[in-house]
Amino acid sequence: MTITIATLVGCAIGDALGQSFEMCSTDNPKLQNWDGLFRDGATFWRRDNHFQYSDDTLMSMALAASLLEHQGFNPEDVAQKYLAWMESGNTRGIGGTTAAALTRIKLGAHYTESGLILNADGTPVGGNGTAMRASPIGLVYRNNLSKLLEVAMEDASITHNSLEPKLGSIAVALATALLANRTASPQDVVYQISDLLPDSVLKSKLELVQKWLEQGTELGSIAAEALAEIGTAGYVPETVGAAFFCLGASNNFRDCVVMAVRAGGDTDTTAAVAGALAGTWYGVEGISEEYQSVENRELLQGLTD
């Protein structure tokens, strides 16, 4: 069967499903009683459109549009598209690190100097704003993996100029490429990515994902325990690790994104990353009718195509 890759549609569906539960704990009654469908409400914005995605998808779309317009990665244009998005006011939950970096560009900083390296407390920045938008890089450079690695790091550095966010961007872009090319399955992609990463928190999280995926039991029954240990906060190693677990522990698009949301924490970003990867593998044909009403579905599929 021919698969029509649905990377950005998958990202948007996961994002839209998760945004209503952002920062909920797994024992929140609203999340426990959730039926797996779109619902109203959000953390950072108040437009009652339950098919609507958030900043994760909007940044992915900005990057995808620039990649298409320039037939490849043009960092100056990408930086300006990110800035234009922020200035539009339609940010839907922009992260603090991203906002600070784009403000620096607005004030005249070059894109090579805009990305934050340290938080106010002196620790390296570690937000997931890089990984959440990286899947279009994987599509464009799926047949040039050395260039993919270079672009993933350069795009990440526009906002997050530290190790873990750069590795998060690499992991998601590379996984997208491998899944699109059918050179890795949802169950083994984590092994290929982990083997390529240097020692890091992200690598340790992916090794933890491998440990859980190798359990000799029904993975759905241990998902809550596994995801609690991997973590589901906005820290990029946790987000990427959780998304990879949901991808490997499920065998269809719906179960992947629903598992990511039910894990709690930064639900929209975990599910956006998981959805982008699952949409790449299962394609349009694997996404059920109940999710086809996601905002701007035709535009998102057009960008992916």
52: closest CA among 98, 23, 25, 20? 20
The amino acid at residue 38 is F
Mean pLDDT (whole number) for 35-53: 73
pLDDT band at 304 (very low <50, low <70, confident <90, very high): very high
167-189 tens-digit pLDDT: 999 999 999 999 999 999 999 99
Look at residue 40 and tell me whether its pLDDT is greater than 80: no
Give residue 81's pLDDT: 98
59: closest CA among 283, 303, 278? 303
79-121 tens-digit pLDDT: 999 999 999 999 999 999 999 999 999 999 999 999 999 999 9
Q: What are phi and psi of 292, to 5 degrees?
A: -70, -10
Distance CA 184, CA 155 (A): 24
Give residue 46's pLDDT: 54
Q: What are phi and psi of 235, to 5 degrees?
A: -75, 125
The pair of structure tokens assigned to 73 is 């990665």
Give residue 49's pLDDT: 60
Residue 20 DSSP class: G
Give residue 39's pLDDT: 85
pLDDT band at 159 (very low <50, low <70, confident <90, very high): very high
Distance CA 31, CA 264 (A): 8
| CB neighbourhood size of 53 (10 A) | 28
185-234 tens-digit pLDDT: 999 999 999 999 999 999 999 999 999 999 877 888 999 999 999 999 99
Give residue 45's pLDDT: 55
250-277 tens-digit pLDDT: 999 999 999 999 999 999 999 999 999 9
210: closest CA among 233, 192, 224? 192
Give residue 50's pLDDT: 59
24 in Cβ contact with 264 (< 8 Å) = yes
Cα dist from 51 to 16, 30, 77, 272, whole Å: 6, 18, 29, 14
Look at residue 41 and tell me whether its pLDDT is greater than 70: no
**Strands, E assignment, 146-295:** none
Domains in the chain and their CATH numbers? 7-304 (1.10.4080.10)
Tell me what the pLDDT averaged over the chain comes to. Answer: 95
| CB neighbourhood size of 131 (10 A) | 33
Give residue 279's pLDDT: 98
Look at residue 128 and tell me whether its pLDDT is greater than 70: yes
